Amino acid sequence: MRVIFRVDASGWIGSGHVMRCLVLADALKLRGYDIYFACLPQSGDMISYIEERGFEVIKLTPAKEPCTPKYEADYDAWLQRSFSEDALDFVQVVGKADLVITDHYAISQPWQKLVKQALSCFLVAIDDLVREHNADLIIDQTLGRKFTEYSGSARALTGSEYAILAPSFAALREHACHRNGPGSRPKVLISMGGVDSPNATLKSLQSLVGKINADFTVLLSPRAPHYEQVKLWCDLHSHVRHQDFEADMASLMLKHDLAIGAPGTTSWERACLGLPSILVPLADNQATICTQLLLHKAILKVTLEDIESELLLTYQRAISQWDELYAANLKLCDGLGIRRLALEITQLIEPNRDSNLQLVIASYEDIRTVYDWQCHPKTREFALNSNVPTWEEHQDWMQRKLALASDFFYLVQDKATEEKLGVLRLDKLKPKHYLVSIFVAPTAYGRGIATAVLKMADVIHPDLTLHATVLISNQASQQLFKKANYTQQGIETFIRNPIQ
């Protein structure tokens, strides 16, 4: 299966699009797909870095006359040529593809239509800006984004549950759930992205260093226009350490108590590890992310213009509110988005009988639906607690469940009709050990829902030890778990160890 990522990096575009595509590329490579990147050579590109990561780069034809964007959101200029020229060049140079994945603010419906027609391929669009796409699947990891915001026939996977994070973040999530607050000398991470054209990094350092009792780590790459100036400044201050690059961002974030940075994918990285942050928006396309994080009380914000006058006071507020910010962040992102996306893409290009189902994270809007299912006699017949809960008891129970960052509460949904078909819960028993609970909507009995759900749980949660308690009288469910490769430990207990 030949998969081509169409993505660029430059001084204008930054590095974020390439970095998240690399994470998705790694996940698809593990599934046996042949991965290539198609990039336009230009100043500030990341072609050599992509190659260092082990992927072949198909170099597109460079523009004869480089185009300079006239303003910050002049996205069409990012392509350096018209969309039709780029699409035709892509088709000619690439030759063939089974799946094309686009992540580019200058590429949308017209480009995608040309490429799909020419290559007869599947197409997945990664977006943040709610543009029109000619795609089979749209991915938008923006917090609070609704799939209904995208028009057209493509399915849209939206929200931070689909955040494209490296596996190291999910691996360290358990540690993050037990992290302690800052001590007398907090560790502060300043990371404004790969470019930081307005030099918010230096402005932040000058506003805080020498005025607070803290140690600083500054992450800024040589690609940044103010790199030398920032590096020299850091070298002159004993409690400030500069790094060009960090391969293991998850471990670095876990070592710090507070982050100061720009919105973007790093927002979900910080949220996954419960790292409180002060955000400084540097571009118009970061406004929505910032607004949503503020609504969820997960960040504090300082504008670029107000760094000098407000950052110090905002830092002091962040330290005093650390516990609240920490808890709010953990709830926003579990770090498993890349597994969900790899499953969705596999189901798209290699469909099977279960490809019409998906697991979606339950919300407060689902409380009534779940209650109706809970009250059905068939559900209670084999429940560990056969008593039917009152409406008030159920509301209280489910609200508490949904508020827990440590548990997983899913609803099973039909992709085409959006019909809710059942529940999968993973309730934490101890670190890396969870109790599985499944029940199917009364209208969906006999459709193989529970079997499909356990298969999806294996893909999304392969690293967990899953336990199940099934009454001896419920022979159908006992057989379900046996067929799903759970080992029977006792008369009514089963276990599925981590999947290698």
Please give the Cα distance from 186 to 319 (Å, whole number). Answer: 9
Please give the Cα distance from 226 to 307 (Å, whole number). Answer: 17
- Angle, CA of 125, 128 and 134, to the nearest 5°: 30
| Residue written as token pair 């006359």 | 65
pLDDT of residue 184: 94
Please give the Cα distance from 466 to 227 (Å, whole number). Answer: 48
In three-state form (DSSP H/G/I as H, E/B as E, the rest C), the secondary structure along 422-488 is EEEEEEEEECCEEEEEEEECHHHCCCCHHHHHHHHHHHHCCCCEEEEECCCCCHHHHHHHHHCCCEE
Backbone angles phi, psi at 455, to 5 degrees: -65, -45
Please give the Cα distance from 221 to 246 (Å, whole number). Answer: 10
65 falls in which pLDDT band (50, 70, 90)? confident
* Least confident segment among 62-66, 98-102, 319-323, 413-417: 62-66
Q: Which residue has the higher pLDDT, 63 or 394?
A: 394
pLDDT of residue 380: 77
Counted residue by residue, the chain has a size of 500
Q: Strand ranges (DSSP E) for 153-298?
A: 155-158, 187-191, 215-219, 240-243, 258-261, 277-279
Please give the Cα distance from 33 to 41 (Å, whole number). Answer: 25
Is the pLDDT score of 25 beyond 90? yes
236 contacts 221 by C-beta, under 8 angstroms: no
Equal fold, 170-332 vs 353-496: no
Instruction: Determine the 3-state secondary structure of 219 from DSSP.
Output: strand
Write out the H or E segment, with its range, that includes residue 410: strand 408-414
Topology adopted by domain 353-496: Aminopeptidase (3.40.630)
pLDDT of residue 231: 96
* Least confident segment among 71-75, 107-111, 114-118: 71-75
Classify the C-alpha dihedral 282-288-293-295 as positive or negative: positive
pLDDT of residue 386: 75
Is the pLDDT score of 314 beyond 80? yes
In this prediction, residues 41-61 reach a mean pLDDT of 96
pLDDT of residue 64: 82
195 falls in which pLDDT band (50, 70, 90)? confident
- Specify the CATH number of the domain 170-332: 3.40.50.2000
Q: Where are the domains of the chain?
A: 2-162, 170-332, 353-496
pLDDT of residue 353: 87
CATH architecture observed for domain 2-162: 3-Layer(aba) Sandwich (3.40)
pLDDT in tens, 267-299: 999 999 999 999 999 888 788 889 999 999 999
Please give the Cα distance from 19 to 22 (Å, whole number). Answer: 5
Average pLDDT of every residue of the chain: 94
Q: Which residue has the higher pLDDT, 245 or 380?
A: 245
Backbone angles phi, psi at 273, to 5 degrees: -100, 10
pLDDT of residue 325: 98
pLDDT of residue 317: 98
47 falls in which pLDDT band (50, 70, 90)? very high
100 contacts 123 by C-beta, under 8 angstroms: yes
335 contacts 170 by C-beta, under 8 angstroms: yes
pLDDT of residue 53: 96
Bridge partners for 299 per DSSP: 277
Measure Cα distances from 245 to 218, 248, 294, 414, 424 in Å: 10, 9, 28, 42, 40
Q: What is the dihedral of CA 300, 304, 307, 311, to 10 degrees?
A: 10
Please give the Cα distance from 417 to 198 (Å, whole number). Answer: 47
Please give the Cα distance from 260 to 217 (Å, whole number). Answer: 10
Please give the Cα distance from 361 to 229 (Å, whole number). Answer: 45
State the CB neighbour count (10 A cutoff) for residue 174: 14
